[in-house]
Amino acid sequence: MLFRILVAGLLLAAAASSPAGALDSKKIYQLNQDRVFQIRVLNRETGKKSSIGSGFIVGDGKQIATNYHVIGQVILEPDVFYISYIGKDGREGELKLLGLDVARDLALLGADNVVGEPIKTSPLPPRGAPIFAMGNPLDLGLSIAVGTNGGILNQTDDSRILFSGSLNPGMSGGPTFNDRGEAIGINVATARNDISFIVPSRFLTELIDLSADDGFESADDLKLEVARQVLAYENNYIEQLLAGEWPELDLRQFSLPGVISPTVRCWDNSAKLGAIARYKRYQIRCANKNHVYLDADNRFVGDLIYEYFWLESEELNSIQFYNLYENLNKDQIDSKLGRDIVSNYNCETWFVQVSGQELKSNLCRREYVEYPGMSDVLFTAALTGHKNKGFFVTLIMSGVEFTSSLPLIRKFLEHTEWRP
Amino acid sequence: MAPLILEIMTRSLHRYLPIENEVTTIGRALDNDIILSDPTVAPHHLKIIRYGDSSVEIVNLTDVNPTRINRYRQTSLVTEQFPVNLEIGRVHAQLLPHDYNVATTRPLAGGDRPGHLFGHISWAVVLVLACLVIGGLEFYLNSYNSIKWSDLFKYVLRETVLTIGAFVLALSILERLLVNRWEIKQLVTSISLMYLFYFFSAGCADLLNYLFTASWPATLFRFGWYLAIVPCAIALYLIHISHLKKSRSIVLAVLIASPIALPSILQSPELKTLLDDFSPTARYQNSLSSKNWHLRESISIESFIGQAQNLEPGEYAD
């Protein structure tokens, strides 16, 4: 162990003393091959891998950073699974969970003893600078992917760096290096075709500072902590939305909240109608990109989706129009969450006066079984009282505190304006 | 001697044979006085011996499928009590005195009143035409694109003609089996009436849903239709038109209605809610109405948010 630390130190010193100070991928690989591990979630009964990712030594040398989603299964079933690491040289050992940053998808793990020299972290290099992602893709062994820094993405709440390199399953949780061999971030996700994402290392530094040495006492503590963090993140997100100016978006006779945050993107979703259609319909769907990984089975929260729908016709009579309008209003966004994850929705209906118009409004909430205080909120409102004009809006928030969602719905309605 | 009457009970139309001789033999063999061709009847199954006007002896003659007299296997029975029930193989019969009271005459549905719904074929024709118009109207009201006559024709053919036709065919065959008669005119009238009633009452249920901002009117209608209205209509038809006994009509109505009701009820979202207490989708009031008649007051955004604070969390499923 001491020998390895010594070698790594010598290599780092050599790198720092080179005139340009820049390392190539080969050097970075050699420097860090003993400091990047495969992180495995193993079944206590069978001893076999249930999921894998990557991790690297940080902090005091006993700590290993990885992604929260790599070890998410342990949150749900800590009695069934445990976390372990294995190095390129075959070194392995069990790890305990020291800290979580659910919103940024980070986890800090702890070994009983020092496992190696910690990797130094560093701020993000300039946009376009080469960066190197290390990890264990597809359980095929340690490798390094070369790409460039695409900068911080503002549509993901500043928690993601765009990496123009190829991340593959199994590399999650591995370090991303600058050309001095310092970790500037943690591999987290990919959208394929050399579009990948990295969590900036400053969030890891914060996590190391905040984490306890002895980890969590019980499984319930873990779930409470996950819920607490998700709710804190969502409350903060909603506060930002409430504090911000909302640009307008025009949809026929309504002026509506438009792109209410840099994290939101709006798309025209209008269906193509044939020439024989005797009505017109327009649909706009806006959604954020703040997908917060909740636990195993790829469950995410943090969605903010709002969808507008306008329908009009000069040719249909009022009964025909309302038959169509009602059918379209009955379409619901599907949810695949089961009874073991969430409660039933509880819904209530009101007729609400908005900008001189009456909207038949429904508000529904359901709770997460394992995560106290966390709700999914669904709000819908349909225009009434017009013979040949229809409009409805659907607003969905997942993993939020119910009471925090109401001011957002209020602002939403206050920014909904009818233009005669 | 006044004759006794042997009533051979078959589906609906029974046979009545006078027993005038002192000794009457019954069996499948051709040398019997009364010949029953049923294969479960023995060649010489039983004989009936008369003693004057009041007394009779029934004697079993077979070991295979022996005669049951008043439900019990007996070698012979001397009796003065009538009617005497006989099971001759699988043929059911009764021995009756000639002056045995018969049930009162049941008037024909519609009877001699030509204006009665079930009394004349013209009503059946009028009602079928009304159904075709309603079918066409339904198509028209649910058409959001330019209407093609061929589509209208196909819809009316599929949704109205075939629906009514299939029910008339199935129920008329059933009626033929039950009462040995074809009563197509009355069936067409009844099914057309049910079709029209369904159309209007379903529309009313939707209006009530919106009026009360609730889903119970449509739920009540759906369950009421299949569990009460359809069986009751069939029972009334069997009692008043097919002239079956009330108890039998009710049992038959339940049996006939079940294949219609069960698939519809089993597929209904309301029953799914009752059977499975969890739904991943939100069940809320999404009905809309051009009339916009509702009993709930319109409230301000402020009031809405105030009331929304009290929205309880959803219930956890088992």
Q: Specify if A411 maps to a domain.
A: yes
Give the list of residues 6+ apart from residue A141 with CB closer than 8 angstroms, or none: A88
**What residues in A contact B290, CB-CB < 8 Å?**
318-319, 321-322, 387
- B314 closest CB neighbour out of A366, A384, A414: A366
d(CA A183, CA A36): 11
Claim to verify: residue A37 and residue A143 sit in the same structural domain? yes
Claim to verify: residue A205 and residue A284 sit in the same structural domain? no
Cis peptide, bond prior to residue B83, ω within 30 of zero: yes
Claim to verify: residue A292 and residue A178 sit in the same structural domain? no
Nearest Cα to Cα of residue B188 among B264, B268, B121:
B121
Type of residue numbered A404: S
Q: Specify if A12 maps to a domain.
A: no
Residues of chain B whose beta carbon is less than 8 angstroms from a beta carbon of chain A are 140-146, 213, 277-290, 292, 294, 296-301, 304-305, 307-309, 311-318
Question: If you average pLDDT over residues A12-20, what whole number do you get?
Answer: 45
β-bridge mates for residue B57, sequence order: B49, B78
B286/A362 touch (CB, cutoff 8 Å), yes or no: yes
With pLDDT > 70 as the criterion, what percentage of chain B qualifies? 96
**What residues in B contact A330, CB-CB < 8 Å?**
286
Give the domain-ending residue among A216, A250, A273: A216
Claim to verify: residue A304 and residue A162 sit in the same structural domain? no
Q: Which of B137, B304, B311 to mutate to test the interface with A (most CBs of A within 10 A)?
A: B304
Claim to verify: residue A206 and residue A326 sit in the same structural domain? no
How close is the nearest chain B Cα to the Cα of A370, in Å?
11
**What residues in B contact A407, CB-CB < 8 Å?**
305
Contact between residue A309 and residue B278 where contact means Cβ atoms under 8 Å apart: no
Contact between residue A349 and residue B171 where contact means Cβ atoms under 8 Å apart: no
Q: Using pLDDT thresholds of 50, 70 and 90, give the confidence band for residue A3.
A: very low
Question: If you average pLDDT over residues B61-71, what whole number do you get?
Answer: 94
Q: What is the pLDDT of residue A158?
A: 64
Alpha carbon B166 to chain centroid, angstroms: 15
Q: Using pLDDT thresholds of 50, 70 and 90, give the confidence band for residue A217.
A: low
> Residue A364 is part of a domain; what is its CATH number?
3.40.1000
Full-model pTM:
0.81
B278/A369 touch (CB, cutoff 8 Å), yes or no: no
Q: Which of A237-246, A409-418, B111-120 has the lowest mean pLDDT?
A: B111-120
Number of domains making up chain A: 2
Measured torsion, CA atoms of residues A237, A238, A244, A249, in degrees rounded to the nearest 10: 110
pLDDT > 70? residue A205: yes
A344/B292 touch (CB, cutoff 8 Å), yes or no: no
Question: If you average pLDDT over residues B64-71, what whole number do you get?
Answer: 94
Q: What is the pLDDT of residue A11?
A: 45
pLDDT > 90? residue B60: yes
Q: Using pLDDT thresholds of 50, 70 and 90, give the confidence band for residue B111.
A: low
Give the domain-ending residue among A170, A190, A216: A216
**What residues in B contact A334, CB-CB < 8 Å?**
280-281
β-bridge mates for residue A152, sequence order: A161
Q: What is the pLDDT of residue B28?
A: 95
Claim to verify: residue A247 and residue A391 sit in the same structural domain? yes
Q: Specify if A338 maps to a domain.
A: yes
Q: Specify if A272 maps to a domain.
A: yes
∠ CA(B180), CA(B184), CA(B187), 5° rounding?
Answer: 105
Question: Which residue on chain A is closest to B310 by alpha carbon?
Answer: A403
Q: Specify if A145 maps to a domain.
A: yes
**What residues in A contact B278, CB-CB < 8 Å?**
338-339, 344
**What SS3 class is residue A116?**
coil
Tell me: the pLDDT tens digits for B275-293?
767 888 888 888 999 999 9
pLDDT > 60? residue A13: no
Question: Which residue on chain B is closest to A406 by alpha carbon?
Answer: B305
Which residue intervals of chain B are DSSP H helices?
A: 121-141, 149-156, 162-179, 184-212, 216-224, 230-240, 246-266, 269-275, 301-308
Q: What is the pLDDT of residue A155?
A: 65
Q: What is the pLDDT of residue A285?
A: 95
> Residue A122 is part of a domain; what is its CATH number?
2.40.10.120
For A165, the token pair is: 């390199």
Average pLDDT over chain A, rounded to whole? 89
Residue/partner pairs of A272-279 with CB below 8 Å, 24 or more apart: A274/B145, A276/B145, A276/B146, A277/B144, A277/B145, A278/A313, A278/A315, A278/A316, A278/B144, A278/B145, A278/B146, A279/A311, A279/A312, A279/A313, A279/A315, A279/A316, A279/A321, A279/A324, A279/B144
Question: If you average pLDDT over residues B190-200, what whole number do you get?
Answer: 94
Q: What is the pLDDT of residue A171?
A: 93
Q: What is the pLDDT of residue A6?
A: 45
- B284 closest CB neighbour out of A319, A347, A406: A347
Q: What is the pLDDT of residue A7?
A: 45
Which one has a higher pLDDT value, A361 or A90? A361
Which one has a higher pLDDT value, A5 or A366? A366
Tell me: the pLDDT tens digits for A240-277?
999 999 999 999 999 999 999 988 999 998 988 888 89
Claim to verify: residue A321 and residue A267 sit in the same structural domain? yes
Claim to verify: residue A172 and residue A249 sit in the same structural domain? no
Q: Specify if A295 maps to a domain.
A: yes
Q: What is the pLDDT of residue A274?
A: 83
Claim to verify: residue A124 and residue A187 sit in the same structural domain? yes
Claim to verify: residue A283 and residue A370 sit in the same structural domain? yes
Nearest Cα to Cα of residue B27 among B100, B97, B93:
B93
Q: Using pLDDT thresholds of 50, 70 and 90, give the confidence band for residue A366.
A: very high
How close is the nearest chain A Cα to the Cα of B306, in Å?
9
Residue found by looking up tokens 């309603």 in the block: B134
Q: Specify if A106 maps to a domain.
A: yes
Ordered DSSP codes for A316-353: S-HHHHHHHHHHHHT--------TTTB---EEEEEEEE
Count Cα neighbours of A135 within 13 Å in the Cβ-side half-sphere.
36
pLDDT > 80? residue A21: no
- Count, in order, helices (H) and strands (E) of chain A: 7, 24
A353/B301 touch (CB, cutoff 8 Å), yes or no: yes
pLDDT > 50? residue B27: yes
Claim to verify: residue A250 and residue A190 sit in the same structural domain? no
Tell me: the pLDDT tens digits for B210-232?
999 998 998 899 899 999 999 99
- B141 closest CB neighbour out of A276, A319, A390: A319
Tell me: the pLDDT tens digits for A62-85?
999 999 999 988 887 888 999 999
Contact between residue A262 and residue A237 where contact means Cβ atoms under 8 Å apart: no
Question: If you average pLDDT over residues A7-30, what whole number do you get?
Answer: 63
A344/B296 touch (CB, cutoff 8 Å), yes or no: no
Question: If you average pLDDT over residues A140-150, what whole number do you get?
Answer: 92
pLDDT > 80? residue B180: no
Q: What is the pLDDT of residue B207?
A: 92
* CB atoms closer than 10 angstroms to residue B301: 20
A322/B278 touch (CB, cutoff 8 Å), yes or no: no
pLDDT > 50? residue A151: yes
With pLDDT > 90 as the criterion, what percentage of chain B qualifies? 61
Alpha carbon A210 to chain centroid, angstroms: 21
Q: Specify if A399 maps to a domain.
A: yes
Question: Which residue on chain B is closest to A372 by alpha carbon?
Answer: B313
Average pLDDT over chain B, rounded to whole? 89
Claim to verify: residue A162 and residue A244 sit in the same structural domain? no
Give the domain-ending residue among A171, A191, A216: A216
Which one has a higher pLDDT value, A65 or A153? A65
Ordered DSSP codes for A144-196: EEEEEEEEE-GGGTT--EEE-S---TT-TT-EEE-TTS-EEEEEEEE-STT-E
For B232, the token pair is: 């009751």
Q: Is B229 exposed, middle or buried (0-12, 13-18, 19+ CB in 10 A)?
A: middle
pLDDT > 60? residue A2: no
- Structural domain of residue A58, as residue ranges? 18-216
